[in-house]
Amino acid sequence: MFNRLTTSIALACVCTGAHAQNLMSNGSFETPGPGFVLFQDWQNFGNVFADIGGVEVPAQEGMASCKMFGSSIGTQSDQVLLQTVPGINAGELYTLSGFVWENSADPLGDENIIILQMNFQDAGGTTLETVEVNMFDPMSDPSDEWIPGSVSGIAPAGTSQILVAVLHIQLGADQGFPTQGGGASFWDNIQLVAGDAPCNNPADFDGNGELDFFDISAFLNAFAEGCPE
């Protein structure tokens, strides 16, 4: 226990900046959308579903997460979430981050590509530059835990908005992959910030993005409770 506390203090010293504002809306998929819009402020295409209340996986933040999976029909199948964020300044650094989960009971095959993408666009919606990160490697990343990932880029001249894309692409037989079960990806806590990525610090016990007395109090309460008999 002492070693773990020491590690948390060391990490706390690294993340001393103010908690960056998330420029996105409904990044943790807590608010449902109307009609065929699954999540408020997001466009969804393909096999995209809501996992509410931790029915399949524990939410990384809040009470809900987003589930995606391919159609497993032998041809490429794209699952897509999109959100356009206005008010972006050219020449400024932006960072897009999020978390992905794979269930060991329903693992992702290597025909799946799990991507978080940031598209810098002009006022007319024309993409000027795209940066992305492969969020999960089915062949090496661990199951049954939230895996963080992020990508950064400087908005090029003419940028006025960012199109955020959450992508689960399942390649099919036409790309050399046989039809398979495929597995599912779960997403949560998508953030777009100006500057560097937000600090996901294990010492932030109350999850408010700041290190203060309340985190110490939460730790001491957890320490006092100990493990159940």
Give pLDDT, residue 72.
76
SS3 state of residue 139:
coil
Give the C-alpha separation, 147 to 59, whole Å.
12
Provide DSSP, 112-133: EEEEEEEEEE-TTS-EEEEEEE
- Asked if 156 and 89 count as a contact pair (C-beta separation under 8 A), the reply is no
Cross-strand pairs, 41: none
Q: Taken in order 88, 155, 42, 55, is the CA torsion positive or negative? A: negative
Of 160-169, 171-180, 208-217, minimum mean pLDDT range: 208-217
Nearest to 160 by CA among 107, 72, 90, 223: 90
Give the C-alpha separation, 118 to 40, whole Å.
19
Query: Burial code of 49-80, b = ≥16 C-beta within 10 A, e = fewer?
Result: bbbeeeebbbbbbeebbbbbbbbbeeebbbbb
Q: Distance of alpha carbon 110 from its chain centroid, rounded? A: 20
The pTM of this model reads 0.77
Helix residue ranges, H only, the chain: 2-14, 213-225
pLDDT in tens, 125-137: 999 999 999 999 9
What is the pLDDT averaged over residues 82-88?
98
Query: Burial code of 5-23, b = ≥16 C-beta within 10 A, e = fewer?
Result: eeebeebbeebeeeebebb
Write out the two tokens for 116. Answer: 């978080």
Helix residue ranges, H only, 2-80: 2-14
SS3 state of residue 83:
strand
Give pLDDT, residue 218.
66
Nearest to 114 by CA among 145, 84, 149: 149
- The amino acid occupying position 111 is E
Torsion of CA 170, 61, 139, 80, to 10 degrees: 10
Higher pLDDT, 21 or 215: 21
pLDDT in tens, 6-64: 223 333 333 433 457 999 999 999 999 998 899 999 999 999 999 998 899 999 999 99
Nearest to 170 by CA among 187, 186, 184, 190: 184
Q: Which domains does the chain have, with CATH numbers?
A: 19-196 (2.60.120.260)
